[in-house]
Amino acid sequence: MHSRRYHHGDLRAALLERAEETLREKGPAALSLRELARDLGVSHAAPSRHFKDKQALLDALALTGFERLNAALAQGPALDGPFADRLAALAHAYVGFATANPELLDLMYTVKHDPQATEALIGAAYQGLQQAAALVADGQRTGEVRPGPVEQICLPALATVHGFADLAVGGLLSPEEARTGLDDVITYILRGCAPDQA
Amino acid sequence: MHSRRYHHGDLRAALLERAEETLREKGPAALSLRELARDLGVSHAAPSRHFKDKQALLDALALTGFERLNAALAQGPALDGPFADRLAALAHAYVGFATANPELLDLMYTVKHDPQATEALIGAAYQGLQQAAALVADGQRTGEVRPGPVEQICLPALATVHGFADLAVGGLLSPEEARTGLDDVITYILRGCAPDQA
DNA sequence: CACGAATGTAGGCACCGACAACAATGCTGT
DNA sequence: ACAGCATTGTTGTCGGTGCCTACATTCGTG
């Protein structure tokens, strides 16, 4: 029997999964712990065993978001090839994730997180940044990227990709702009990274 | 007498003002129409005369945010001077506004807005973009900026500034990085805008 | 100055998040 | 095998919230 067991088995994971669906379908404001519990066939207080707070659930959800984003970034760019291609792949992976999970991205970068959760989120975000940093370092080695401290190149580039994704996701860009704009953004980033022309 | 009049005078503006304070102090989740009404000494249903919805109030708040942001951008950069200086001023104005109003910025770019409100917000955002576009066009005229369609230069640059502001505001950048990073970002943007070196 | 529109009030409803007291289940040491 | 304890889930309750409807007061305009 499935429906009548007292213990759910993995309620925590089920809550996160269902929460993300609801987030995607009805927005963050409509996310209610009680409704989640109802959907999963457990009592309204059961979620509190796994998340002390509604905010705790949101924090956890944001964390899974970063993990999936990192995974998407990791498998996106081939390990070798010209810097320009790898950068483009990374940017497409980032923007692709963003447009596929707009509400989640919003949640990930949202201001109000528990301080402790924020720490974990920073860690996860940092991990993604490392991939970009590695790419830039490689590019410097092959001379495709200007020399200098990696983060002075990496941070602006990341800001550009993230900013573009955020604008596109927020609906402030027309679908048209969102589609064609990314290529412009990529060539612009490449210009920012390129070594000075002697 | 002030406290016993039946009509408030300008409840709508008072609501928006108080809402922003609450937003700043206790975050968006803690914003309650009833509490706003209580704070302003008015009955719990009074706000509904001015905002059909809680979301409507948030939309209106976001709109005022864009208006103030545009104002900040407009008075930031001097009308003439080298392109680099004007760009730096604009970027500082943007990031300054963002760090001074983190929760509000979050709200402004948040995903879930009423479609109709979204339209108004797009208009307001577009107005800000126009300032950047004008700056770029000037730069092209003086040869400080590479030729080509303005939006192909403007959009990436805007994305960079916005993305950096968003990262800084979200707490994902250390205060250290947030402070020094902006200058790196600006020089990087300038590189992206500069004409090809012959 | 009357009357309709705008604005504010009072009450109620369903829902929510958090808490506390209690019940069933799983796990571990003996 | 089983006793005892931690984990997980249940029920009940509390104050609070958003939204709705019906009613009251005030404002502005004919």
pLDDT of residue A111: 76
pLDDT values of chain A reduced to their tens digit, one per residue, 198 residues: 344 576 777 999 999 999 999 999 999 999 999 999 999 999 999 999 999 999 999 999 999 999 999 999 998 767 789 999 999 999 999 999 999 999 999 999 997 878 888 899 999 999 999 999 999 999 999 999 999 999 999 999 999 999 999 999 988 888 889 999 999 999 999 999 999 876
Q: Which of A112, A169, A180 to mutate to test the interface with B (most CBs of B within 10 A)?
A: A112
Per-residue pLDDT of B18-52, as tens digits, reads 999 999 999 999 999 999 999 999 999 999 999 99
What is the maximal distance between C-alpha atoms in chain B?
74
Highest mean pLDDT among A70-79, B61-70, B77-86: B61-70
A1-51 and A54-193 share one fold: no
CA distance A118 to A72: 21
Q: What are phi and psi of A6, to 5 degrees?
A: -70, -45
| pLDDT at residue B3 tops 50 | no
pLDDT of residue B80: 82
Average pLDDT over residues B156-182: 93
HEC assignment per residue over A110-168: CCCCCHHHHHHHHHHHHHHHHHHHHHHHHHHHHCCCCCCCHHHHHHHHHHHHHHHHHHH
From A42-46, B76-80, B170-174, the region with the lowest mean pLDDT: B76-80
pLDDT-above-70 percentage for chain B: 95
Nearest CA in chain B to A185: B156
pLDDT of residue B9: 78
What's the pTM?
0.93
Average pLDDT over residues B57-64: 96
Domain at A1-51: CATH architecture? Orthogonal Bundle (1.10)
Report the C-alpha dihedral over residues B187, B188, B189, B191, rounded to 10 degrees: 90
| pLDDT at residue B115 tops 90 | no
Residues from chain A that touch B177, judged by Cβ atoms under 8 A, are 151, 155
Q: Which nucleotide is nearest to B49 (CA to C1')?
A: C7
Judge whether A145 and B180 are in contact, CB under 8 Å: no
Average pLDDT, chain B: 92
Judge whether A163 and B164 are in contact, CB under 8 Å: yes
Q: State the pLDDT confidence band at B4, using cuts at 50, 70 and 90.
A: low
Q: State the pLDDT confidence band at B76, using cuts at 50, 70 and 90.
A: confident
Residues from chain B that touch A162, judged by Cβ atoms under 8 A, are 163, 166-167
In chain A, where are the structural domains located?
A: 1-51, 54-193
pLDDT of residue B5: 75
CA distance A80 to A141: 13
| pLDDT at residue B12 tops 70 | yes
Cβ pair B185:A28 closer than 8 A: no
pLDDT of residue B153: 96
CA distance B178 to B168: 6
Asked if A32 is an interface residue toward chain B (Cβ–Cβ < 8 A), one would say: no
Average pLDDT over residues B39-67: 96
Average pLDDT over residues B174-186: 93
> Which residues lie below 8 Å from residue A73, measured CB to CB, with a gap of 6+?
A90, A93, A94, A97, A128, A131
pLDDT of residue A31: 96
CA distance A53 to A57: 7
Average pLDDT over residues B72-77: 86
pLDDT of residue B188: 97
| pLDDT at residue B2 tops 80 | no
pLDDT of residue A3: 46
* B13 to chain A, closest Cα gap in Å: 24
Count of CB pairs separated by less than 8 Å, A with B: 131
DSSP letter (8 states) at residue B44 = T
3.40.640.10, 2.60.120.200, 3.40.50.450, 1.10.357.10: which CATH number matches A54-193?
1.10.357.10
